[in-house]
Amino acid sequence: MKKMLIALALLALPGLTMASSGGSHLMTAPIDLHNKASLQKGAQLFVNYCMGCHSLEHQRYNRMARDIGLTDEQVKDNLIFTGAKVGDTMQNAMPKADAKKWFGVTPPDLTLIARSRGVNYLYTYLLTYYEDPSRPYGVNNAVFPNTGMPHVLWQLQGMQKPVYTVHKDAEGHENKTIEGFELVQPGSMSPPEYKEAITDLVNFLAYVGEPIQLERQQIGIWVVLFLVLAFVVFYLLKKEYWKDVH
Ligand code: HEC
């Protein structure tokens, strides 16, 4: 009985951590690691819009090229803006000390961000910047309140305003929660186009967080095939061995 209670409590744990994250609801990132076109678009967005501040210290350009279906030449011509060589890691050119001076915080390396924060968090983070004149950059974020990062994609997304619902708690205090957003200034992309771009970007970061994922799934298929074949062979062997006994 005690064991069962403990097991139940453990089952409830993920729910509890969700509840303590301020109630902000995470959207599900519809990523697909097998979609090479999406990974390529994500890489393009990353080097154009993110690498000014963030690096991918543990990712090499040529490894990325191979994994997402590009040649070294294509990467050299289209994705390297820092003067790096194709065998180098994806470092940005901004000195860390300057970054700290400019932003108050050093922009973190993003190699492992998809694993530490999860893809749904990243997706929601990049979709929920909103106008907030009280903040230094005039924007705030629904899942990372008071983030030190400006809304670097606002030209693509445009600017949105939160739509609040107001709840009264038992003591009559009013609590505002963000229920949705309303586009107040359109960007160069439509909302569905922007969502797709963010999906590509998050897809790319998911790949970068664990490049072996793509290979591992393939290895997995071979392992299962091997087990099926082995089963057939052993079954036939067993029949052969026991034939004379029965
Ligand atoms: C102008 C500089 C700048 C650019 C460009 C930039 N960022 Fe950031 N980013 C920051 C800073 C500064 C932080 C740290 C924010 C903080 O801790 O308050 C940050 C933090 C983050 C985080 C961590 C959030 C967390 O919960 O810890 C993610 C994820 C992120 N950036 C993704 C991106 C992506 C994706 C892009 C490209 C679309 C991008 N950033 C472009 C400056 C930048």
58-113 pLDDT, tens digit each: 999 999 999 999 999 999 999 998 889 999 999 987 888 888 888 888 999 999 99
CB 176 within 8 A of CB 108: no
CA distance 238 to 232: 10
Q: What is the mean pLDDT of residues 15-43?
A: 78
The confidence band for 17, taking pLDDT boundaries of 50, 70 and 90, is very low
- Of all protein residues, the one whose alpha carbon is nearest to atom 8 of ligand 1 is 149
Cα–Cα–Cα angle for 22, 27, 31, nearest 5°?
Answer: 140
Whether ligand 1 lies within 6 angstroms of the CB of 64 is answered as: no
C-alpha closest to that of 175 among 27, 24, 18: 24
Whether ligand 1 lies within 6 angstroms of the CB of 105 is answered as: yes
Centre of ligand 1 from the C-alpha of residue 179, in Å: 24
- Of all protein residues, the one whose alpha carbon is nearest to atom 15 of ligand 1 is 148
| Dihedral angle, C-alpha 133, 138, 143, 148, nearest 10 ° | -130
Q: Is the pLDDT of residue 220 over 90?
A: no
- The sign of the torsion formed by the CA atoms of 68, 88, 125, 41 equals negative
* In the block, residue with structure tokens 């050093």: 106
Total residue count of the chain as it appears in this document: 246
Centre of ligand 1 from the C-alpha of residue 105, in Å: 10
